[in-house]
Amino acid sequence: MLHSKAERAYLQQGFDAGLRSDGRGCHDWRPVEVALAQLPQASGSARCCVGGTEVLVSVKAEVRTPTEEAPGCGGIQLAVEVSPCAGLRLQGRGDEELGAELTRALERCLLSQANGAGGCLDLSALCIVAGKSCWVLCVDALVLSADGCVLDALSIAAKAALADTRIPLVEVTQADEDGDAELELDDDPTHAARLDTARVPVLVTVSQVGAALAVDLNAEEGACAGAALEVAVDARGRLCGATMRAHSAPLHPSSLQEMLGLAQRLGPRLLRELDRQIGQSAAAASVAMQE
Amino acid sequence: MEFVSPEGLRIDGRRPQELRALQCKFGVLSCCDGSALFQAGNTKVFAAVYGPRVADIRGQALHDRALIKCEYAHAAFSTGAARRRRGRSRKSTELAALVRGALEQTILVELLPRAQVEVCIQVLFADGGVTAACINAAMLAVADAGIPVRDMVAACGAGHLEAMPLLDLNHTEAATGGLEVCVALHPALDRVVLLQADAKASVDTLEAVTTLALQGCKAAAGAMREALLQHVRSLAARRGAI
């Protein structure tokens, strides 16, 4: 989006005075709306809207063979796509590049190592038969509409979709002594294992605009932001990672501490709101299922 | 596999000449000039329109009419089981070209010289009839953007299974590889804008299937028109015009 110097100066002065063009303070989010179970074909899915930004995440559980490095663990595969509808008007392969960038950022948030060890999800719970078969969660995200704060919205939707995921129960019947086990899946959707997502963090992008620090910049505000730091924070306010955004302006080391502190204060607040909405949505779904 | 039961019902419970439930929503995306969601059964397609505005690349602008651009993408989770290959395939390029062709004949391009209209299509779930759903979604988004058109364009598919023409095939029915025809129609002008048949068939069969698809187009056009009118009425009420 193109902005004149005067427009940018206007926005920047607003931030200095603690006021934004839509009436928010510097540390306020736009309304965050989360809805679960959006896609009937997925094991779990969620849609998240933050103002004009809209993302959709689907989780599909597939039975595969575990890797040799981690025979007792399942896996997670992440992919983010940017829809041409998103309004970014990227030329050529720009959407694929942005998708890859967002995928990496989300991977860093959800998986700490390549095989997921030490991450926020207990991957050993996804194991079916050690060294033979395990569940792999394919997390596919789609950015439908981009109006700033896309990565934060993606991490919120990913957490909600993982909380919505139902993994069918598996009965292992030992066929012979060589250990070629046969798997029998339970089709009943009410009998399904759920993931423990309590420790899954969300990403909070803290941006510098002039001298002020702000969260949830919309597309216009993002155009006049300086440095931006993507911070992963869990429900207890613990840091789970921090990355400077690619193409971000340089940052003074002294402001780093301040930005991390802000993310640690705001992250748990965002997560409480998210947990409330997940709880509400799940309760509505279980009522619908009983009827 | 039996596609039509002795009682005359298809696998999803429809009659042979019955459309799936259609649903149209407008203004579903915020950062574009017009957007729509078109749903036929499980098939779900978003469309967003940007424009009319100055052409991105000046050399591409046409001095006597508008330039129509079309982008198409399907979500990784849009098909049921296996994960599809990412990126632009030949099929998605063709689909974008088909939609662009239908829109070029529908939009009054000569009223918008040197301008560009960009239509972006995103498939969320593909359960058969994707081409038709894309054209319908694009038409609704163009209408939502307030771009002048000659007539509405409505598309519908039909197929031939068990020696019987069937309207609006779903994925399971289309996967048999029999004849499937996709037709787009200007219902008021009574002009066929697009016809695509991708299997060997006798002239009689093709004619029967195409006739059925054309009837489907008219029914879809009716539903789309009704949804558009309802949307405009609610907009007018919100602005206090009525």
**Cβ separation of B122 and A39 shorter than 8 Å?**
no
Average pLDDT of the segment spanning B138-153: 95
Instruction: List the helix and strand counts (H, then E) for chain B.
Output: 4, 9
Which residues lie below 8 Å from residue B230, measured CB to CB, with a gap of 6+? none
Q: Report, at the CATH architecture level, how domain B22-238 is classified.
A: 2-Layer Sandwich (3.30)
Averaged pLDDT score across all residues of chain B: 90
Q: Distance, in angstroms, between A217 CA and closest chain B CA?
A: 15
pLDDT at B182: 94
Q: Is B120 on the interface with A (CB under 8 A)?
A: yes
Q: Which of B72, B76, B80 sits opposite A140 (nearest CB)?
A: B76
Helix (H) or strand (E) holding A263: helix A253-290
> pLDDT-derived band of residue B33, with 50, 70 and 90 as boundaries?
very high
CB contact under 8 A, A84 and B32: no
- Mutate: best of B29, B49, B77, partner A, most A CBs <10 A: B77
Tell me what pLDDT residue A190 has: 73
Residue B107 backbone dihedrals phi, psi, to 5 degrees: -70, 145
Locate the DSSP E strands across chain B.
22-26, 34-40, 43-54, 67-74, 115-125, 154-161, 164-167, 179-186, 191-197
| Section B144-148 average pLDDT | 95
Distance CA B87, CA B170 (A): 24
| A269, β-bridge pairs | none
How far does the CA of residue A52 sit from the closest CA of chain B (Å)? 6
Question: Are residues B77 and A79, on separate chains, in Cβ contact within 8 Å?
Answer: no
pLDDT in single tens digits along all 291 residues of chain A: 567 888 888 888 899 998 888 889 899 999 999 999 888 888 999 999 999 899 999 999 988 888 888 788 888 889 999 998 887 776 667 788 888 999 988 888 887 655 555 577 888 888 888 888 889 999 999 999 998 899 999 999 999 999 999 898 888 877 655 656 677 877 777 778 888 888 899 999 999 988 889 999 988 888 888 899 999 998 888 888 888 887 788 888 888 999 999 999 999 999 999 999 998 888 887 787 676
| A91 interaction partners in chain B (CB closer than 8 Å) | 56
Separation of alpha carbons A31 and A58, rounded Å: 22
User: With an 8 Å Cβ cutoff, are B120 and A40 in contact?
Assistant: no
**Could you tell me the pLDDT band of residue B132, with boundaries at 50, 70 and 90?**
very high
Overall average pLDDT of the B208-229 stretch: 95
Check residue B81 and give its pLDDT.
55
Residues of B in contact with A142 (CB under 8 A): 75-77, 122, 124
Tens of pLDDT, residue by residue over B221-238, are 999 999 999 999 999 999
Pick from A83, A148, A145: nearest CA to B27? A145
Within 10 angstroms of residue A249's Cβ, the number of other Cβ atoms is 12
pLDDT surpassing 60 at residue B163:
yes
SS percent in chain A: helix, strand, coil, step 5: 30, 30, 40
Query: Number of CB pairs < 8 Å for A and B?
Result: 76
Q: What angle do CA A138, A108, A144 make, to 5 degrees?
A: 55
CB atoms A140 and B30 under 8 Å: no
Nearest Cα residue to B137 out of B25, B19, B229, B57? B25
B93 touches chain A (CB under 8 A): no
Domain that holds residue A163: 5-290
Q: What are phi and psi of A105, to 5 degrees?
A: -65, -40
Q: Domain of A281: which CATH number? A: 3.30.230.70
Residue B116 pLDDT > 90? yes
Q: Inform me whether the C-beta atom of residue B96 falls under 8 Å from chain A C-beta atoms.
A: no
Q: Do B120 and A138 touch (CB under 8 A)?
A: no
pLDDT at B84: 54
Distance from CA of B109 to the nearest CA of A (A): 22
Q: Does A31 touch chain B (CB under 8 A)?
A: no
Q: Residue A95's closest chain B neighbor by CA?
A: B87
- Give the C-alpha separation, A162 to B131, whole Å: 32
pLDDT of residue B83: 55
**B212 neighbors B121 (Cβ within 8 angstroms):** no
How high is the pLDDT of residue A141? Answer: 94
Partner-chain contact B35 A56, CB within 8 Å: no
| Interface membership of A40 toward B (CB under 8 Å) | yes
Tell if the CB–CB gap between B80 and A41 is shorter than 8 Å.
yes
Q: Are B74 and B122 in contact (CB under 8 A)?
A: yes
Supply the ipTM of this predicted assembly. Answer: 0.83
| Domain spans of chain B, in order of start | 22-238
Count of H-run helices and E-run strands, chain A: 5, 14
Whether B38 and chain A come into contact, CB under 8 Å, resolves to: no
The pTM score is 0.88
Q: How many domains does chain A have?
A: 1
Least confident of A81-85, A120-124, B7-11, B212-216: A120-124
Token pair belonging to A198: 């309590």
- The answer to whether residue A81 neighbours chain B at the CB level (below 8 Å) is yes
Residues of A in contact with B56 (CB under 8 A): 89, 91
Closest by Cα among A92, A95, A66 to A82: A95
User: So what's the pLDDT on residue B76?
Assistant: 85
Buried b (16+ CB within 10 A) or exposed e, A267-287: bbebbeebbebbeebbeeeee
